[in-house]
Each structure stands twice: as C-alpha cells, then as structure tokens.
Amino acid sequence: MKKLLIVVLGWLIVMTACKKNSDSAIPVTSSSFMFFNGIPDKVYDIWLDTTQVATQVAFGKNSTYRSMRAQLYTMYLVDASDPGKTKQLIGQINLRNKRFFSAYIGYDSANKLNIFRTLEDDLTPPAPQDMKFRVVSLSYAFRPNGQAVAMDLFSQDNRIFRGIGFTQFTPYITLPGDSVYHFNFRRTDDSTIIPSRFDFPSKPGKIYTMVTVGNALDAATFKTFTITHN
C-alpha cells in the first residue's frame, strides 16, 4: 500500500508540473487599438472595459496605437471636462490577435446622436514608392426630400472614390507616393463640387486615412482630417 501511495504521489507531482508547463506555454495574444474624435468642442478620455487607453483626445485628433490583449471589449467615452468623470457606453470592439483596429466617433445632422464606427486597419506596407489611402465619412448632407447625399472624391478631375455615404468607408487603395494630390469632393448625383478643395501631400511607404466630418454642403462645417497610421 505504501509503495502504491508513493507511485500515486509521484504521478500527481509529474502531472502538476506538466500542467504548469502547459499553462505557461499558452501564448498571450495581443492587438492594437487607436481612437479618432470627430465631435466638435469635445475632448475625450477612452476606456476599454476598466483600462484607460487614451487621454485628452481633442476634436480632429487621434490617439496612438495602444497594445491590448486580443478579446472583446466594451468601449466607454469620458468627457474630459466632466468633473464627475461619468463613463458613456458607446459600443463594443473585438480586438483580434496581431491585428490593428481603430474606432471613430462622429455626430448626426442634429448633433444629438453620436455615431460609432470601428474598422480593421490593414498596415501591410505598400511598395516602397507607393502609399495607401482610404476615406472614412462622418460627414452628412441631405436633399430637400430628406435623402442622404453621397460623395465622390476627385484629385483635380480624376475620380478616386465613388458614392461615399454618411458613416461609410472606402477600402484602402494604393497610389503613387511622394506626390501632392489636389483633392475635391463632389456630389455623386450631380456635378456639384462640395465647397472644400485642398492639397494632400503624400510620402512613399505611408498609410493614410482621411476622415470627413460636418455638413458636406456647408463650407463652414465641412472638414477633413488625416490619420497617418505608420
């Protein structure tokens, strides 16, 4: 009996050691997250579950990428001017292993409802002489009948994207780097040029997201911001 007990104890010790080695071999998954603030006159702190991941993100600004464990998170905003620091739940984001994600906050035409959008960011480098570019639309415009107006993006008279609607986004495209693009937006349903023309200088190897906010038909509120992801 004593010999059997010694054998059993030895087996338990071996199994416990194997379990510890097995547990320690489980990889810790990691993902990356950034945030863009598209709400005028607001400055936000950002939380994923109980972790503060960005601080004092002003209108038109984005946070840097923050490395997080890959899992599903609940995302909260905190108005930086709120002395009580009340958390506002805005949605969830599923961060996947070895990938990059971004979240975008905008507002509707009545400035009463926050618009929440999450995207995966493809940071695969372009060819050394090229750059990668996409558009995220948080801007709105409406016809007299209430239907939304979509936008096309041109560089001078060369159309790059067609039919970008409110809260929509384009895929990444590859364009020559080390160039200056003369951008203008136009309504998809006619040739009306939206009152915003601007030059966009690019650099080889860079990955960009252009974010539009405000009323697309009103030069006073329509704005564009550029995120450089790398």
Q: Which of 100, 121, 142 is the last residue of a domain?
A: 121
Residue 102: strand, helix, or coil = strand
User: Among 28, 27, 33, 42, which residue's Cα sits nearest to residue 73?
Assistant: 33
Domain boundary pick from 59, 89, 121? 121
Q: pLDDT tens, 177-186?
A: 999 999 988 8
Q: Which of 76, 98, 121 is the last residue of a domain?
A: 121
Same domain, 129 and 228: yes
Q: Answer yes or no: is 2 within a domain.
A: no
Sheet of strand 51-57, all strands in order from the earlier edge strand to the far edge: 51-57, 44-48, 72-79, 87-94
Q: What is the pLDDT of residue 7?
A: 43
**Who has greater pLDDT, 131 or 151?**
131
**229 or 191, higher pLDDT:** 229
Pair 129, 227 in one domain: yes
The owner of tokens 């199994």 is 15
In this structure, which long-range contacts are made by residues 158-163, counting pairs with CB atoms below 8 Å and at least 24 apart in sequence? 160/133, 161/135, 162/188, 163/188
Position 118 scores a pLDDT of 95
For the segment 140-149, the average pLDDT, to the nearest whole number, is 76
Round the average pLDDT of the chain to a whole number and report it.
86
pLDDT at 75: 96
Is residue 5 domain-resident?
no
Q: What pTM was estimated for this model as a whole?
A: 0.83
Q: Which domain holds residue 137?
A: 124-230
Q: With cut-offs at 50, 70 and 90, classify the pLDDT of residue 9.
A: very low
Query: Looking at per-residue confidence, does 85 or 35 come out higher?
Result: 35
Contacts with 31 (C-beta within 8 Å, 6 or more apart), sequence order: 67, 68, 69, 70, 95, 96, 97, 98, 99, 100, 101
Average pLDDT (60-87) is: 93
According to DSSP, residue 199 is labeled E
Asked whether residue 16 is domain-assigned, the answer is: no
Answer whether residue 24 is part of any domain: no
pLDDT, position 6: 47
Q: How confident is the model at residue 142, as a pLDDT?
A: 76
Q: Give pLDDT, residue 71.
A: 96
101 falls within a domain? yes
The structural domain count of the chain equals 2
Q: Are residues 109 and 156 in the same domain?
A: no
Shared-domain flag, residues 37 and 103: yes
